[in-house]
Structure 1
């Protein structure tokens, strides 16, 4: 849990990307008057109690849960205790959620708050520190996961049998293997596979058990391990395998394998 921030209101907004806006803020007392957005407002309280009026009642958001304010619903925001509150939020255009869900009704979280752990986990990539830029493919992967988690948290059931295009998904998979050393976007994969990007994203998960971004990251980490064994430095291996720098690679390596690449090398026996 984050430590209590200083009692000075502040607001930091990340650069807008496509239909996604992200920001982090702290308020010592009253934050916002009643207002509404034409987007989803989805976020996490990092510290303190975030109190707001929503759909006829007072809501109290605590660390560990997820706020999901539906488009065009009136709300405000203020501190629920004297220590203030700190939070991260993102605004997502409903049309973007619709594209990922294929025309289903928009997921609706009745009280504006959810304790669903799948939904909380789905927000973490998009709402991690705003100082960490999002890889384009990582961002769209995370948005797709968030849309599915919203559906689950809203209790939407899908009974139709999924259809898929294996040939298109395999084209995308093969293309990723040829592009480990550079940034790859979902639009690029869609172009090379001949399938629209959200159908391709669904197909890839269904057929290969993971998202395009996670698949690409794992193949890059495979390449890093091979390069390290061959004697490449951590910096060189990171760049050759398409990571932005050594710290970017190390973060993914530790998250995937549970230990740092330096420790892995020390433990490795040929």
Structure 2
């Protein structure tokens, strides 16, 4: 559920009748350094089943936010915290006729790894938590969504959130042989190859790790496969081009996709909406 407003607010201060009722909308805060923050309103269905390679952490401000996650239907209410693990399939829809409004932050697993030092990625069973430590750490990042956060403020808040997640989660154990440094080298290599095909043999050579061990380590530390990671970075680039006014076909080519339909398939798989609908929802909030 990638995708919320104004000044800081709590669930009790955000009645649904203050949200636009005739259309769905998304408001994106200025993206910065591996973090995306949004506020959104949906009257009925928000997102089709999809998965992305970031953590999605947030709170429902008003209404009931329902989603399928790990073979069950979850219902997020104001006061709790949603924590969706990277690469876990989920969707999003209103649990009542009134619709729902929520805020969410999307964090690259590498940022949490920087704070946790190569520990297992935190995992919140069921995707919902009532733990006050997690709620407080999340709220610090979801305040003032209309402005970019001060870089030091963001780093401090991410550190606190990483450790709150680690404290609350049932962490999955890592294999003793897992190589964090090799996974980091492979990730760096992918960032330098966004516009061309990459093989697992290339990544293995760049990281000094055999290909299958590297593939397992990459998933353990960054929450997704090398190929999915590369595809998501290309989608990030395509979204930036679209926001700058570039036509979809040109954005697809510039980001390294074979054509517009190739990009659209990956876009829907990652975000649960088509590129054109995503752009319409962003424009709807500014009217």
TM range (shorter): 0.5 to 0.7
Q: Which portions of structure 1, spanning 4 or more consecutive aligned residues, are displaced by more than 4 angstroms? A: none
Look up the match of 2:62: 47
**After superposition, where does 1:94-173 map in structure 2 within 5 Å?**
94-155=109-170
Q: How many residues align?
A: 157
Map residues 246-265 of structure 1 onto 2, 5 A cutoff. Answer: none
1:32 equivalent in structure 2: 47
Distance, in Å, in 2 between the alignment partners of 1:9 and 1:43 is 18
* Equivalent-residue separation in structure 2 for 1:122 and 1:150 (angstroms): 9
Task: Select which of 94, 97, 119 maps to 1:82.
Answer: 97
CA contact (8 A) 2:37 2:142 kept: yes
User: Distance in 2 between the 1:11 and 1:17 partners?
Assistant: 17
The equivalent position to 1:61 in structure 2, one of 63, 76, 94, is 76
Alpha-carbon RMSD across the aligned residues, in angstroms, is 1.3
Residue aligning to 1:3: 15
Counterpart CA distance in 2 for 1:111 and 1:62 is: 14
The answer for the alignment partner of 1:256 in structure 2 is none
State the TM-score, normalizing by the size of structure 1.
Answer: 0.57
Q: Distance in 2 between matches of 1:28 and 1:156?
A: 35
Q: Deviations over 1:56-107 (max 9, x none)?
A: 0000001111100000000000000111000011110011111100110000
Cα offset, 1:155, TM superposition = 4.2
CA distance in 2, matches of 1:42, 1:103: 20
User: 2-side partners of 1:17 and 1:133: how far apart?
Assistant: 8
Q: Which has the larger radius of gyration?
A: 1
Cα distance in 1 for partners of 2:70, 2:144 equals: 30
Q: Which runs of 5+ in 1 are unaligned?
A: 158-270
Once residues 158 and 58 of structure 2 are traced to their aligned partners in structure 1, the CA distance between those partners, rounded to angstroms, is 13
